Structures are given as structure tokens and as C-alpha cells.
Copies of this chain bind each other. A is one copy, B any other.
Amino acid sequence: MLGSWLHCGLPTGGVLNITSLSMFLNSKTDAPNFLIEVIQSSPTTMVLILDVPPRKDLILHPEYLKTFYEDTKLDVQRQKISKLTEVTPYVSHSLYIRSVVSPTAILVNVKCEDGGAERIEEIVSEYIYPVAIDVMRIWMDASELEGRDVVDEERLILERRDEVVKNKTIEIDLGSSLPRLFGQEIADKVLAAIKDVFNGKNQSESTGNE
């Protein structure tokens, strides 16, 4: 589990808040990971990223797409958010981030020019909060699915893919924002510590390294 809370004054006088939580499962299961990120740079706008990113190539594994995305009706959750008039799609600059998310990912800009900060609070409590809870519940149910034992040859590919995802995600996400916000020296220290945990030992063994 990787959580980060960034808070930073901007040269423009505003404040940037980025809250992010990623949950990576180990290779005893092939169930998707969980990801939520909220980026707020003004009281009336926000970016929301909410997804259960797949851990297999969905094209080579149509049954994976069916089990975790079609049968769970995750797209209904996406539609609840995207139908709002204040919401437009968020397109990441990074082609990697665009590729790593699922076909039901919620990647949106919320802009409340009229209703202001009050309306954005309303959208969070009435739409984003319940959808985030539902997506997390669907993810937890899916990650406990029985009969999804990963066989040895699949586990190797899964572990290789997981490793790329973890390293790339840090590199692109935190690796671009941390140096900008806190300088290269602090960023390097934080990133090195996270990479140690990800690449060194598994979760239970590595607690002492953090």
C-alpha cells in the first residue's frame, strides 16, 4: 500500500493538494490493483483518478476482462461520474498512465465555475464518495474471488508485470511531482526509499526498511 499526501504553496498564490492511495496485491492472486488520486489546485477544480488497474493483458485474457470488469459492472460507476455537466475527461500527458488503467477507469476533470467551492463539495459527497466506496467494495470482493490460483508460469509474467507497474508508476507520478515541489535532493531520498521497499523484499518482510 502506498499513500501520499502532498501539500504545497504555488507561485501563483494558490495551494496544490495531491492525495493518492495505491494498493498492489501480491502474486498469490491475479486480481486487479486499486488506485485513487485526487489533485486539487483551486477550490473549484479537481482531477479524480479512480480505478482498479488490470494486472494482465486484457486482450490475451478476455476471461479476465469479463470477470473483473464486465461482470462487476464497474462501468456503471464510471457513468455516474461522467454524466455530470461539471465533468470532462482527464487525459494524462503520460501514454504509460493511459495504458496502465482499465477500460472502466474514472479519469476526470471537475470544474465548478458556477456553483463554486460549495458545488464541488456537493459533488464529492453525493457522487464521488459513494462511487469510490462502491468501486473499493467491488475490488475487495473481486480480490477475494476463489479459484483464481496463479500457476507457476503465469506467476513469473505477473511478477514481472507488477514490477514494471510499480516502478513506472513511481517514476512518472511521484518522480515528476516531487522534485518540482520539494527539490531534487528530498525527492531522490523519498523515491529511493519507496523503490527499496518495492524491489527489495515483499510487504511483510520489508516493513523494517521503510
Q: CB within 8 Å of B: which residues of A?
A: 57-60, 62, 65, 69-70, 75, 82, 89, 91, 95-96, 98-100, 103-104, 157, 160-161, 164-165, 168
Contact = CB atoms under 8 A, between A and B. Distances in A.
A62 B97 CA distance: 11
A60 B161 contact: yes
B95 A161 contact: no
A99 B58 contact: yes
How many monomers of this chain does the complex have? 2
Contacts of A59: 57, 96, 99-100, 161, 164-165, 168
Contacts of A95: 58, 65, 69-70, 75, 103-104
A187 B104 CA distance: 30
Contact of A98 (B57, B62, B103, B165): B103
A98 B59 CA distance: 10
Contacts of A160: 60
Contacts of A168: 59, 62
Contact of A60 (B57, B62, B75, B89): B57
